[in-house]
Amino acid sequence: MSPRTSTFWWYALPGLPLAALTLPVYVFVPAFYAELGVSLALIGTVLLGVRLLDAVSDPAIGFLSDRLRLPGGRRKPWMFVGLVPTMLAVWMVFVPSDTPSATYLFVWSAVLSVGWTLMILPYNAWGAELADDYDGRTAVTARREGMVVAGTLLATATPAVLAALGVIGTAAALEILALGLVILLPLTVALCLWRVPSPPDKSHQRVALGAGLRAIGANKSFVRLVSAYLINGWANGLPATLFVLFVTHVLVAPEMVGPLLFLYFLSGVLAIPGWVWLSRRWSKHRVWVGSMTLACATFIWVPFLGAGDVLWFAVICVLSGFAVGADLVLPAAIQADVVDVDTADTGEQRTGLYFALWSLATKLSLALAAGVAFPLLAFVGFQADTVPGLDSTNTNGSLFAVSMLYAGLPVILKLPALVLMWNFPLSREAQEDLQARISAAASPS
């Protein structure tokens, strides 16, 4: 049974600033720090190092948020605790000194990652527990991810709006974003904590750590889903990480970075209601497969683009944006169903731990994108700080490498994800059976 729809919207509010925080870290910050003199290889290493730290922090926070009984429920207190370090680190990462070092980037990125994890893991687990039916979970996720895309649009539009006002440069855009985030984040979190109830814990026993880990490994639906999600996330992380470099140096249209990103994410948010409607008519996993197929059919044309092909790339942004709308909503809704398998088998509702592993897969996929792409670009001699166009010192080969890493490799990576998800076992009927088992086990005999 699901709460009122208005509750879903109150819950979704923090998704806006949390997304406006996330996009610059992976899209603007790497290129910005490269412009400030930090080498691409070091930036890739730093981002990968932060993700290795997450390998410890994410499961720990997820496990503790499931187990600890704090005033305010299992999820709310953690979001409150994460606010201060997140806001401080946002400012330090987005508004660095003129000559930041790789160490500076690592330290403050690590603080930002831990603070963000303290907020986002309980937040996502809370959303998975707000509704317990197959389509209700899609409704919750769609509203949250709609806000996420709205926050992303806000972040992508900021440089273009500032440029129209005569304020040009990534540094100015990041500073304005940081200022907005330290205002919006506490406001939206406070409204969410006030208006949204804490769902009851459906656990009827506690599972020992060793037995719990074995149960996760034995949850074949989870292993299959998270494997597909990791691979697809890696495929999506490559264009996200290289977007600025591709538009600036391959299309030679640096002034179009903001408008094209805005078009991409606007297409994503407009497509969400359509993907939700399709998931009600067919299964969530089959519709997700369809969206990944659309992305592949779109990206195969990118390596044929060159300087000045902005209009054709805009069409690709629209179509791939449609596909990313499903990537945002459907996998997370399926993940909520996968948690039911574990709850039915173990008797403990470990949503926090499962979404910690989910978050770890998300971060690892993005780190793989940066950790693979930037060193490879450095290897082929690509230079991010050179002037784009005819006077560029980048060779045709290095620019082609940008195109292939941006779009060619993602198409290859998505193919095994398609295979993994086509015959995914958790249908609407299977999820209803799981909920019946959970309710029966939790009811007093």
Indicate the domain borders of the chain. Answer: 1-201, 208-439
Tell me, yes or no, if the two domains 1-201 and 208-439 fold the same way.
yes
Distance CA 47, CA 371 (A): 7
Token pair belonging to 209 = 């750590």
- Does the pTM surpass 0.85? The reply is no
> What's the average model confidence in pLDDT over 191-208?
87
What is the dotted CATH code of the domain comprising 1-201? 1.20.1250.20
pLDDT at 159 over 80: no
> What's the average model confidence in pLDDT over 377-386?
80
> What's the average model confidence in pLDDT over 176-205?
90
| Packing angle, helices 257-281 and 310-346, rounded to 10 | 40
Who wins on pLDDT, 27 or 176? Answer: 176
Question: Reduced to 3 states, what is the DSSP secondary structure of residue 77?
Answer: helix
Scan for tokens 């900021």, then name that residue: 158
Residues 243, 257 contacting (CB under 8 angstroms):
yes
Which residues lie below 8 Å from residue 281, measured CB to CB, with a gap of 6+?
A: none
pLDDT at 201 over 60: yes
pLDDT band at 35 (very low <50, low <70, confident <90, very high): confident
| Pure H helices in 165-283 | 170-195, 209-218, 220-245, 257-281
**What's the pLDDT score for residue 444?**
56
pLDDT band at 229 (very low <50, low <70, confident <90, very high): very high
**What's the pLDDT score for residue 274?**
94
**What's the pLDDT score for residue 171?**
84
Distance CA 38, CA 180 (A): 26
> What's the average model confidence in pLDDT over 248-265?
87
pLDDT at 445 over 70: no
Residues 163, 262 contacting (CB under 8 angstroms):
no
- Give the residue from 296, 327, 313 showing the smallest Cα distance to 412: 296
> For the chain, how many residues are written?
445
* Fold of the domain built from segment(s) 208-439: Growth Hormone; Chain: A; (1.20.1250)
Distance CA 426, CA 66 (A): 24
pLDDT band at 92 (very low <50, low <70, confident <90, very high): very high
pLDDT at 2 over 60: no
Q: What is the DSSP letter of 277?
A: H
Per-residue pLDDT of 93-111, as tens digits, reads 999 987 888 899 999 999 9
- Give the residue from 403, 40, 35 showing the smallest Cα distance to 250: 403
> What's the average model confidence in pLDDT over 135-162?
85
Residues 261, 316 contacting (CB under 8 angstroms):
no
**What's the pLDDT score for residue 1?**
45
Q: Which of 49-53, 112-116, 387-391 has the lowest mean pLDDT?
A: 387-391
- Amino acid of residue 112: L
pLDDT at 203 over 90: no
Residues 234, 413 contacting (CB under 8 angstroms):
yes
